[in-house]
Structure 1
Amino acid sequence: MRFRDLGKRRLGKGWLAGALALALSGGAAAQAPAEKPQYGGTLEVGTMFYTLSALSWDPHDWNWKLNHDTGQFYEQLVAGDLDKSVRKGGKYPFTIDAFLPPGAQRGELAEKWELVQNPLSVVFTLRKGVMFPAKPGVMQERELTAEDVVFSFNRLRSSPKMVPTYFDFVDRVEARDKHTVVYHFKEYNAEWDYRLAWGFYSVVTPKEVVDAGANNWKNVNGTGPFMLTDFVQGNSNTYTKNPIYWDKETIGGQAYKIPFVDKMIYRTIRDEATMNAALRTGKVDMLESINVRHVDELKKSVPQLKWSKRLSFLGSFVALRTDTKPFDDVRVRRALNMAINKKEIIAAHYVGQAELYAYPMHPDWSGYFEPLDKLPPAARELFEYDPAKAKKLLAEAGYPKGFSFKMQYCACSPDHTELAPLLVAYLEQVGVKAELQPMEYAAFLSAMTTKKHAAGYLMSSSHTNPTTSIRKSFVSGQTWNPSIYADPKVDDRMAEAYLTQDEEKRMEILRELTADIVAQAPYIWLPTPYAFAAWWPWVKNYAGELNVGSLRPGPIYARIWIDQELKKKMGY
């Protein structure tokens, strides 16, 4: 059976709703006569992470942002099929970060793939003629082979930074021949597709780059549509078209060689107002993440902009360290949830553009997500503002006069910079004093991954996909478990979910796990906001798509072209 048919997963009402919303905001242009693409020019992008420079160029570092920065040149076995996008009349908006339903997938470096039950393995057949471009001082032009895939996997697996247990289900990987790769499994894993083919840690890196120094941006080189040709920390990433890129884009029945633009530049700007001004003045062609509070002003000042809206795939919360007093007491954690007026935060802070409950499961994940009104009372209660009961719980836990704790947050997040003082004010009303500690991103991330962070930790975390959302945050010993949550029953049920091939049964396990974890309140659960993207009319073949894998936009940018004549007519 083919990977894309595995388990006959439900597409989900959320995908269809998202598709409809995107169609209404710009995707309906898919019905218009196809324009002939233009070559040349530079695409200037304010990405969804425009405040952050690249954190690493080396997959061996296991950095979450790697695909976002290297996905222009490093490719994977499988990617999202943009021919199935809303823009082209399909079902998928491609705005979620790391969840590709089977119908949304296409082979990238792999031409086809098959899950074999006996012996349990997956066989990938690679495309022939996919080439690495020449990189002076690093490597000569040559063809991608199965040995590159094997080398990349084994190197990833050898990293001391590897997420615990991530590849434990794989026994070994072999190059059966020049274009066939076989992963032999020890046991079934419900995420085998994501982890091996299109996940955060599955790019293919040539050995020559590793030998030259894989974390030096001047050495990186892959089979993707662009080549990294300049990097200025805190300012920009510059990518130049790969002249021997293998893929094409079909428009109006005709196949065109891509990428269309000569260059693509990420702009890094730390200030939200400055980036909005860059969009307003045409210094960037598109801005992928705009705070809802700035949308109306931008629409009024620049009515020509095109827009899309999406529910964020980043959940916000304050992680409460369950290994630290007083947060080892569930009554205290529940009290802090009830002390926060989350509905008021939606109304005032997010001007109504947020969902009260949309994390850790994303509403797009039909079958996995249960709405708030379907959760048990113990979970629902945490989303109601009840300071009187919060005080009662604190008194029962031995803190009738409250307590003090430190709350860290990243100064790189404009949203959290404004949200944090609001949380402090609510907590003060029940006698709890939160001391805010803003941090630069590198120190903020390091504190969490080394488990040296404060008892309170305000952060955003990717929904990722239904299994990873629970595993990474709530299974014992995981890197991205900021509450240090540990429950043997959760660990056992999560292990069971991964071994379960029947998706309906897996959905049931994950629904139960989610409800139990929410009620245990390892986090102060916060609303999930809507996010907006905007772009100028000269940006063509685009409708707000963000990812074709795990935070990987490279193939999207490769299919965009700039209408140079229109840009000049508009005075830019």
Structure 2
Amino acid sequence: MTKKLVWLLASCLMVISLLIVSCGEKDTGGTVTTQDKGQTVTVGGGEEDAGTGPGTASTVGEEQNRPKYGGKLTYPSIAAPAAWNPGAVTGASAEQGSIVIEQILGRNWEEGEAGTGKYNFVGGVPEWSAVGGNLAESFEILGIGEWLLHIRQGVYFGYNPKFEASKLVGGREMTAEDVAYSIEWMRDTPGSAGIVSEPSLFKNATIERIDNWTIKLNTPEAPTTGYLWMLGGGGVQYVWAKEHLENYAKSNEWYDTVGTGPYITDDYVTDVAIKYIKNDNYWDVNPVGLGQGDQLPYIESINYQIIPDKSTRMAAFRTGKLDRLGFREDLNAEEYEQLLKTNPEVEHAVVIVDPMKINGRVDMPEDPYSNLKVRQAMMLAIDHPSIVNDFYNGNAELLDSPARKWYPSIYTPLEEFSPEVQEYYGYNLEKAKQLMAEAGYPGGFKKTVYFANSPASEEASAILKEYLAKIGIELELQPVEFGIWRGMFWGGDIQEWIIDSWPGGNGALFVRYSMGYFRGPNVFNTAHVNNPVGSEPVIEDYYQQQSKYVMVDYAKADEVTKAAYKYCVEQAFLVPMPAPYGYRVWQPWLKNFYGSDDLKFWLRWAWIDEDLKAEILK
């Protein structure tokens, strides 16, 4: 099997390379392995017990030194921002989250890795109690879908006198009106990222101004998704000044960005780099540690480098020109081992990388993928154990989506499924051929499959093409430059088959409660399960049950979610590959950083140890 996969990748990737017209790369998602019960996590070269339950974390690294101000963070991205403001590109979220613009709620930094160590945020917010304030200083849950938000006073919009948009806002104080109007703008603007991502949530939301510092948000439809899309989570809702939205919401010029974040956009060389400078009037202070009480942020400026080519990014990291690799750019075991040969001092956290999946449309009868027996045949035709053992050298999970094992309240181990479903994750070519015949495709069929031209997608497409050909499914591979792929994906209506890691999810907190991966007109519901709503009654029933408990009884909500995700696996709505382990790496001089990926979990607290950097690079 090992030799076969090597030959397979060599031959198929050569074919793919001939098809690619332009360069680009797509990241793959990842979640930390420190949410498991009693497992170990490797951080910076050592293993430490990660605790006895989800969300607990060990202390990581050595005793922190007192944070220092100054320095420049050099951080890479594989592509230039597509949308600078919320109305610039249909369906796209503004892309400067936690740098220039901020969300309403955040996380409890005091009880994170730099504080008590109760929570580990490498994989995001681990549980409801870890949610904290941000632009809303605090909040109250009045009922399902009802939020009372107490807006923080003393928050000012960043001010750069070089630009007209910034001069319009004038660095004034943010108020509850700005928060309310930002939500209403997202709700009332056709084609906004909120409307595209979770239309029923936004279209039916109402906001009541209680006073200058308090608003009441009511989300009667899709209330389970309120935190995810509106208030925090991985959503699209940020806060802008009211007058900025009225005048610049549709501008896609970099100099028209204004927000409350720790940094201000200062310059941009198109498709090369963005320069961010420190917001000297930023509102937050460090709540814990040796830097308790320090005004944030610590880092003076950000050099946001746009580097599409992975080998170039790796070379820059090896030579100390990058302080960490980019968002969701986790190395595989071989890449990490090679890096250690030249950079033994590098820090790292172990993650599970979201698995690649192939899917078509279950809502289109003319698509063979809509036939359950075809999907079952596809699962049986892929030799999952050999991929784990031979391709990933045992460093992968057979079953990871839609629920990851680090979330035991919603995860069903493979051995608890029926023998028929357990067989999906094995290999039975003869039964796969039999199912294809029973489905009416004894000779197979041809399908075009689209994917981003990233190494992970190309590897997956090569493997899937080889295996599925054995049951007569002939895949025509169509790699797409990442920027174009992003537009196709966010368009939400791809007619052909796709390969990507985004569909399905992993059951991370709050994402699990939206059911968006398997319900309704959601861009992440790429198989169009239960779309239109009600077309898959089992999923719809689970969603309605879940809605009764989210925000008031999360234990009950998780019971329902676990059953729903089990059903999704049984129905093979998505055909996943195994999920490999990955390594998230950063330079040892990047301090107050513990492996969290999203900028909102680390940027404003991080600092650069210039002395250590000089010592290592001399």
Q: Is TM > 0.5 for Structure 1 vs Structure 2?
A: yes
Cα 1:34–1:503 change in 2 (3 A) is: closer
CA distance in 1, matches of 2:472, 2:584: 40
Q: Which amino acid aligns with 2:383?
A: N
Q: Which amino acid aligns with 2:131?
A: Q
Aligned residue number for residue 262 of structure 1: 300
> 1:183 and 2:192 equivalent?
no
Q: Which amino acid aligns with 1:213?
A: Y
Aligned residue number for residue 507 of structure 1: 558
Cα 1:29–1:96 change in 2 (3 A) is: closer
CA distance in 2, matches of 1:384, 1:435: 25
Question: Is 2:84–2:94's contact at 8 Å kept on the other side of the alignment?
Answer: no
Task: Map Cα deviations across residues 155-198 of structure 1 (whole Å, 9 max, x no partner).
Answer: 11123231344425955202211111111343782343334321
CA distance in 1, matches of 2:270, 2:392: 31
Report the secondary structure of 2:370's partner residue.
coil
Q: 1:39 aligns with which of 69, 72, 88?
A: 69
> 1:155 and 2:197 equivalent?
no
Kindly state the Cα deviation for residue 153 of structure 1 after the two structures are TM-superposed: 0.3
Aligned residue number for residue 290 of structure 1: 330
Aligned residue number for residue 14 of structure 2: none
Q: Which amino acid aligns with 1:121?
A: E
Question: Is 2:360–2:527's contact at 8 Å kept on the other side of the alignment?
Answer: yes
Kindly state the Cα deviation for residue 25 of structure 1 after the two structures are TM-superposed: 5.4
Q: TM-score, normalised by structure 1?
A: 0.88
Question: Is 2:228–2:511's contact at 8 Å kept on the other side of the alignment?
Answer: no
Aligned residue number for residue 248 of structure 1: 285
Aligned residue number for residue 582 of structure 2: 531
Residues matched between the structures, number: 549
Q: Which amino acid aligns with 2:84?
A: W
Aligned residue number for residue 560 of structure 1: 606
Aligned residue number for residue 474 of structure 1: 518
Question: Is 1:74–1:205's contact at 8 Å kept on the other side of the alignment?
Answer: yes
Aligned residue number for residue 452 of structure 2: 410
Q: Which amino acid aligns with 1:14?
A: Q
Segment drifting more, 280-289 vs 464-473: 464-473
Structure 1 runs (4+) greater than 6 angstroms displaced: 26-29, 61-65
Q: Which amino acid aligns with 1:327?
A: Y
> 1:429 and 2:491 equivalent?
no
Q: Name the Cα RMSD after superposition.
A: 2.8
Q: 1:488 aligns with which of 537, 544, 557?
A: 537
CA distance in 2, matches of 1:350, 1:102: 34
Aligned residue number for residue 328 of structure 1: 370
> 1:310 and 2:341 equivalent?
no
Aligned residue number for residue 591 of structure 2: 540
CA distance in 2, matches of 1:141, 1:540: 30
> 1:300 and 2:341 equivalent?
yes
Q: Which amino acid aligns with 2:217?
A: Y
- Percent identity at matched positions? 26
Task: Map Cα deviations across residues 11-36 of structure 1 (whole Å, 9 max, x no partner).
Answer: x9825657855484598665744312
Task: Map Cα deviations across residues 29-72 of structure 1 (whole Å, 9 max, x no partner).
Answer: 657443122211111123xxx32322212234688984763321
Segment drifting more, 561-570 vs 386-395: 561-570
Q: Which amino acid aligns with 2:445?
A: F
Q: TM-score, normalised by structure 2?
A: 0.82
Report the secondary structure of 1:116's partner residue.
strand
> 1:218 and 2:259 equivalent?
no
Aligned residue number for residue 3 of structure 1: none
> Where does structure 2 lack aligned partners over 5 or more consecutive residues?
1-32, 49-56, 531-535
Question: Is 1:14–1:366's contact at 8 Å kept on the other side of the alignment?
Answer: no
CA distance in 2, matches of 1:513, 1:15: 21
Question: Is 2:404–2:411's contact at 8 Å kept on the other side of the alignment?
Answer: yes
Segment drifting more, 25-34 vs 186-195: 25-34
Report the secondary structure of 2:430's partner residue.
helix
Q: Which amino acid aligns with 2:616?
A: M
Report the secondary structure of 2:223's partner residue.
coil
Report the secondary structure of 2:617's partner residue.
coil
Segment drifting more, 207-216 vs 20-29: 20-29
Aligned residue number for residue 108 of structure 1: 134
Aligned residue number for residue 209 of structure 1: 244
CA distance in 2, matches of 1:30, 1:296: 21
Q: Which amino acid aligns with 1:285?
A: D
CA distance in 2, matches of 1:386, 1:454: 29
CA distance in 1, matches of 2:319, 2:94: 29
Question: Is 1:54–1:66's contact at 8 Å kept on the other side of the alignment?
Answer: no
Aligned residue number for residue 172 of structure 1: 206
Question: Is 2:138–2:149's contact at 8 Å kept on the other side of the alignment?
Answer: yes
Report the secondary structure of 2:293's partner residue.
strand
Report the secondary structure of 2:560's partner residue.
helix
Q: 2:226 aligns with which of 183, 186, 192?
A: 192
Q: Which amino acid aligns with 2:156?
A: M
Cα 1:448–1:213 change in 2 (3 A) is: same
CA distance in 2, matches of 1:428, 1:457: 16
